[in-house]
Amino acid sequence: MEPLSRLTPATAEVLHALLDAGAPVWGLRIVHETGRPAGSVYPILSRLESAGWVTSVWEDDPSRSGPRRRLYELTADGVPAARAAVARIRGTGAASGRVAGASA
């Protein structure tokens, strides 16, 4: 797992949403939970996956109608790293109220 080159409030919010989910979660749900635009969330998820913090798979549920969803989940090493990153950004005071007041 690689360290993140930068930790922004948006990245912290995505990490927090993944921590709160506790199970694989689709990207659009993260968009809704963070209030961030998809054009911000999906590149963050891609960077997190490239760095080894997150894994993703295509949903395989033939009984569900609609397009397949990509499910994202923190890796075993990503969970403690995400907790530390969210705590670190809280400490800087740079995070939005959603992350600053949240518990990870």
Yes or no: is domain 9-60+67-93 CATH 1.10.10.10?
yes
Which runs of consecutive H residues, i.e. helices, occur in the chain? 9-21, 27-34, 38-50, 78-92, 97-100
3 neighbors 88 (Cβ within 8 angstroms): no
pLDDT computed for residue 60 by the predictor: 87
The Cα 7–Cα 91 span in angstroms is 12
The Cα 89–Cα 11 span in angstroms is 10
Residue 60 corresponds to which tokens in the numbers above? 């395989």
97 has pLDDT over 60: no
User: Please, what is the angle between helix 38-50 and helix 27-34, to 10°?
Assistant: 120
Please spell the DSSP secondary structure of 37-64, one letter per residue: -HHHHHHHHHHHHHTTSEEEEE---TTS
What is the chain's mean pLDDT, rounded? 89
What residue ranges do the domains of the chain occupy?
Answer: 9-60+67-93
94 has pLDDT over 60: no
96 has pLDDT over 80: no
The 10s digit of each residue's pLDDT in 39-69 is 999 999 999 999 999 999 999 888 888 888 9
pLDDT computed for residue 90 by the predictor: 83
pLDDT computed for residue 103 by the predictor: 40
The Cα 31–Cα 97 span in angstroms is 16
pLDDT computed for residue 45 by the predictor: 98
pLDDT computed for residue 29 by the predictor: 97
95 has pLDDT over 60: no
